[in-house]
Structure 1
Amino acid sequence: MSSSTEAATKASWYKRNEIAATPWLFLIPGVAMFLLYVIFPIFQSINVSFYDWDGLGEAQWVGMGNYEELYWDDAFYVSLRNNLIWLVLYLLAIPAGLFIALFLNQTVTGIRLYKSLFFFPFVISQVVVGLVFTWFYDPTFGLLNQFLAVFGIDPINVLGDERFVTYGIIAAGIWPQTAYCMILYLTGLNAVDPEQIEAARLDGAKGWKMLWHIIVPQLKPATFIAFVVTIIGALRSFDLISIMTNGGPFGESRVLSFYMFEVALSEYGFRMGYGASIAVVLFLIMLCFITYFLWSMYKDEKGGR
C-alpha cells in the first residue's frame, strides 16, 4: 500500500470518527498533565513510604516500619485529632455561605457593596488572612482582647494557649472558606427554576419550607462541590498554621499536612519515607470522604432518572 493510500485511509478514519475523536484531542494534554503531576506522585509517595530515605542518599527498605512507627507516635494522633476538629468545624462554612448567598441574592439597597465586602476574603492571600488574625488575637494590642476588656474580661492569648489555638486558627480559615461557598451558592441560585418557586408559592410554601423543599434540592450540585472543596481544604490545612503558630504551642496546633512537612523537610532530619507515610494516611482519609460523596451523588442522579 502506497503512502498516499495510507494517508487517505487515516484521513477517512478521522472523518468517520471526527465527532467522537475531536474531544479526546483536546483532553489529551490535560489528561497527560493530570497523570504526570497527580496520579504518578500518588504512587511514588506510596512507594517512598516503604523506605527509610533522607531524600538524597540511598533508600533503605523498611516495609511497614514507617506505619508501625506512626501507630505509636503521639504527635501523629495530636495531628489527626486536630484534623478531625478542622473537618467538623470547617463544614460550618457551607451553611454560612448558603445563608449569605440567599441574602445577597435579594434586591436591597447597597447590595453591590455587601457583595464586595463578603467577596473580599476570597481574593486575599491566606498569608494575609493569617497575619490579620494573628494581630487580631494579639494579647497586648489585638482587637479581640480590646473588646473583651470592655466587659472586664482578662486578655486571652488565643495562639499561645493549647486549649484555644486550634479553634482560633480554624476561625481564621472559615472566613475565606465561607466566601468561597457563598460564590458557589450564588452561582447555583442563578440556575434555580423560577417556575418551581412560583408554583410552591401558589401552594402556600414560604420561609423555611420554601428553602428546604424547593431551593436546597436544586442546589445539590453546588452543595456537592462545596462539601468536597471544604473537606479537602480542612484536611490539607497548612498555610494558616505555618503563618500563625508554626505548629505551636508545644505542637498542639499541628495537623497531618504540617506534621508531614516537619518530619520530611524540617526539624526531624529529612525523613522522606516517614513523611510519605503520613501523606498516604492523609490521602486515604480524603479518598474515603470524596468517594462517599461521589457515590451519593451518583445514586441521587441515578434515582432521579
Structure 2
Amino acid sequence: MPVWSGFLTPVLEVLMDEQVWRKRDLHSAVEDHVGLTTEQRAEKLPSGQRRADNRIGWALSGLYRAKLVDRPARATFVITDAGRSLLAEHPDGITEKILKTLPEYQDYAPARTASSSNITPDPYVVAREENDPLEQIEGGVGRLHAEVAADLLDRLRCQAPEFLEQSVLDVLVAMGYGGTEGRAARIGGSGDGGVDGVIDQDPLGLERIYVQAKRYAADNTVGRPEIQAFVGALHGVGAARGVFITTSSFTSGAREYAQNIGTRVILIDGQRLADLMIRYGVAVQTRQTFTVVEVDEDYFE
C-alpha cells in the first residue's frame, strides 16, 4: 500500500472531475483509482481504523493545508484551481517534498518556539531510525497536534467574532478560572468599551480578569496601539489585569509595552491559543489513548 504521500496525486486525480465529493465516497474512489486489493483495503491499525482511511486522510489534510483542495461543507472536498495547476505541473506525481515547498503549506502552521509551546518544536520531521521508539511516538503525537492546532486557528478565523469571544472564555474556564461556578460572561459587541469578556479569578469573585479577543488573519499582527487601547479600557472599568488574545501574533513593540506597564496584561497569540485549546480539551476530542509500559524493576527484587 502506498505511504500517505503516495495518495496525494490519486486524490487530486479523482477530484479532477470538479464535483463535490463526500469523504466516504472519495476514499472509496481513491482506493479504486490506486487499485488496492481486498486484502489491502481490509488492513487495520491497532486502533481499529482502516489503514487506507488513515493514509488518505493524511493526504487530504496535507492537500487542504496547501489549499490544493477545499472543504465547501462538512466532510466534503473539491479540487481548487491551485490543485489543478500543480497536478498539471507534475505529471509524474506530487510528493511530500513538493508539497512542503508551497507557501500556503508553510504558512498554514506557524513555526513554534520553545517559549510558546510544550509540543515538539519541529513536529513535521519524519521519525528517523536512530530515534528510540518513545521519541518516535512523541514526534508523531507532536505532528498530530500541530495539524489540529493549525486547523483550529483556520476554523476560528472563519467564525464570527462572537464565536471567538466565547471560545476564549471557554478556554479560561477550562484552565480553572471563573471561580467555583466557572463564571464567565461575554460582553463584546457595540458599546463594549474595548472589553469582550470578564471572568472571575478567585472562587468568591473578588478579583476579575477582563478579556479582549481579536479575530485576525495570520499576517495581520497586533501592534502597540491595540494594547494601549485595551489598557485604557481596563482603566475605564477599574481593572488591574487583563488578557489580550488574538488568532494572529503580536509585534515586538506590543510585547515590550505589555511587559513594562503597571497594569498586568497577558498576551496570547494564535499558536498559544491553539495549544491551550488542545491541552485543556476545548473544541477537540480524544481520538485514541496509548499506554506505554516498561519493566517494573521492583517486581524482580
TM-score by length of 1: 0.25
TM-score by length of 2: 0.25
Which structure has the highest helix share of the two?
A: 1
Find the structure with the greater CA-based Rg.
Answer: 1
Which structure has the highest strand share of the two?
A: 2
Higher relative contact order (CA 8 A, sep 6+): 1
